[in-house]
Amino acid sequence: MLHVLTLSSLFPDETRPNFGIFVERQTAGLAQRAGVDARVVAPVGLPVWPLRRSTRFAAMAALPSYETWRGLEVHRPRFTTVPGTGGRWHVRALVAALIPLMDRLHAERPFDVIDASFFFPDGPAAVALGRRYGVPVSIKARGADIHLWGRAPATAGQVLAAARGADGMLAVSGAMRGDMIALGMPGERIAVHHTGIDHDRFRPRARAAAKRAASVAGPLVVSLGALIPRKGHDIVLDAVARLPGVSVWIAGEGPERARLTERIAALGIGDRARLLGSVAHEAMPQLLAMADVMALASSSEGLANAWVEALACGTPIVITDAGGAGEVVTGPTSGRVVARDCAAFAAGIAAVLAEAPDPAAVRASVAGFSWETNAATLHAHLAGLVARRQASSG
C-alpha cells in the first residue's frame, strides 16, 4: 500500500468551489487506484486578525478543520499571512501550523510520500516536513507558482531551494519544465505531467440548439478565467468589438469586473458582451460546447485546463503563446496561437469561425488527455520516489 499525503493550498472548499478543482480531480483519481491510500491537507491562508473580519475571510475562517470532501479525507489547518511582505513569511507560518497536524497524522497512519500540488508555499513547506518525517517529497509546478513566486524577490530563493531539496518534481507542460530549468532547477528531476479531462462530461453537444435556447444569434466566443489582468479579458473584448455580429461571454470573477464593465460600455458592445460571473464547474461543459471559439489572452500559463476542456467539447481555441500552448494547439483544427494583442486575436477568431472545424476532429486532438492517465502517471512517479528512497537507505 502506498500512503500519500497530498499537500495543497490550492484546493476547493464550500466558499470557493472552483478553486483548484483540477488538484481535487487529480487527487481523487490517485485515491481511486488500487493500492493507494491518499489523504489531503489543504491549508487555508488567512491574513492577520483585523483583516479577517471581511465577509470573504470570515467565511474561509469558518470552514471545518476536517471534512470528507467529495469522497476525500481533507484537513484544513489555518496559517497566517501578512499583507505587504510579498509572501516572504508564508512558508514559516505554514510549517508552524502544519507540524502539530502532520505529527498526529503520521503517528496515526504513517505516510510514505508527500505530494505538494503547488510550488509555493506548499513546496518549501513539504521539503521541510519531508525531512522531519524522513519521507520523499514531490512538488508540482502549475503556472503562477513558478512565473510569479519563482521570480519575486521575496520568494524566488525559497522556491529554488525547495526544487533542489525535492526528491522529484512535476510540470504541467514541457514549456513549464523549460521555465523551471531556466530558473536553475535540476532538470533530471522534473517530469512532465499533463492534466486530465473527463471526456464523458466535456463533449460536443448540439451547439446551434443551445445558442438558440440562450438567445444567442451568430457566433459566440467564450473566455474563461479570473477577472485579473493576467488573463487578458480586455484584449478579447477589444478583438470581438472588431468582429460585427460576434458575441462574447466571459466566465469568471475578480477585481477587474468594474474595469471590464466600463470597457464593454466604451466599446459599444453591451448588446453582445456579457460578464457571467463565477460559473460552477458542473455548468462549464454546456457553456464551452455552446461556444464557437474559446479565446484566452493570458500573459502566462502552465497548461490551462480551460484549453483542454474547450477542445474536448469540440470547441477550437485562440490563445497566446503561453506555457504549453503548442502542446494542445497542434494544428489548425485545434485553433490558433496568436500574439497578445486585439488585432491578432480578432484575426485568429475570424479565421477559426471561417473554417468552422468539425467538433469531432477538434475533440480528437485531446484524446490523449485523461484523468486515468494522469492518475497512473502520478502513482508511478510517487511510488518510484518511495522505492528509490528505500533502496538508498537500505
Q: What is the pLDDT of residues 236-258, one digit of tens each?
A: 999 999 999 999 999 999 999 99
Arithmetic mean of pLDDT over the chain: 95
DSSP labels for 243-273?
STT-EEEEEB-STTHHHHHHHHHHHT-TTTE
For residue 202, being part of any structural domain is answered with no
What span, in angstroms and rounded, lies between the C-alpha atoms of 136 and 127? Answer: 8
Q: Which residues are bridge partners to 41 per DSSP?
A: 7, 75
Q: What is the pLDDT of residues 222-237, one digit of tens each?
A: 999 999 999 999 999 9
Residues 379 and 354 in one domain: no
Confidence of residue 82 (pLDDT cuts 50, 70, 90): confident
Residues 34 and 74 in one domain: yes
Residues 356 and 227 in one domain: yes
For residue 201, being part of any structural domain is answered with no
For residue 31, being part of any structural domain is answered with yes
Look at residue 83 in the predicted model and tell me its pLDDT.
85
Residues 234 and 157 in one domain: no
For residue 167, being part of any structural domain is answered with yes
Q: What is the pLDDT of residues 281-322, one digit of tens each?
A: 899 999 999 999 999 999 989 899 999 999 999 999 999 999
For residue 14, being part of any structural domain is answered with yes
| Whole-number CA gyration radius for the chain | 21
Whether the pLDDT of residue 112 is over 70: the answer is yes
Whether the pLDDT of residue 118 is over 70: the answer is yes
Q: What is the pLDDT of residues 41-81, one digit of tens each?
A: 999 999 987 777 777 788 999 999 999 999 999 999 999 99
Q: What is the pLDDT of residues 262-280, one digit of tens each?
A: 999 999 999 999 999 999 9
Residues 377 and 252 in one domain: no
Residues 231 and 127 in one domain: no
For residue 124, being part of any structural domain is answered with yes
Question: What are the angstrom distances between the C-alpha of 15 and each of 11, 42, 278?
Answer: 11, 14, 12
Residues 76 and 189 in one domain: yes
- Paired sense of beta strands 317-320 and 2-7, if any: unpaired
Whether the pLDDT of residue 392 is over 90: the answer is no
For residue 165, being part of any structural domain is answered with yes
CATH of the domain at 151: 3.40.50.2000
Q: What is the pLDDT of residues 120-144, one digit of tens each?
A: 999 999 999 999 999 999 999 998 8
Structural domain range at position 86: 2-196+370-393
Look at residue 56 in the predicted model and tell me its pLDDT.
79
Look at residue 9 in the predicted model and tell me its pLDDT.
96
Residues 227 and 181 in one domain: no
Residues 271 and 224 in one domain: yes
Residues 40 and 97 in one domain: yes
For residue 281, being part of any structural domain is answered with yes
Helix (H) or strand (E) holding 66: strand 66-69
Residues 151 and 40 in one domain: yes
Residues 120 and 268 in one domain: no
Q: What is the pLDDT of residues 194-219, one digit of tens each?
A: 999 999 999 999 999 999 999 999 99
Look at residue 394 in the predicted model and tell me its pLDDT.
65
Number of domains in the chain: 2
What span, in angstroms and rounded, lies between the C-alpha atoms of 262 and 303? Answer: 30
As a whole number, mean pLDDT of residues 153-174 equals 97
pLDDT > 70 fraction of the chain, expressed in percent and rounded: 99
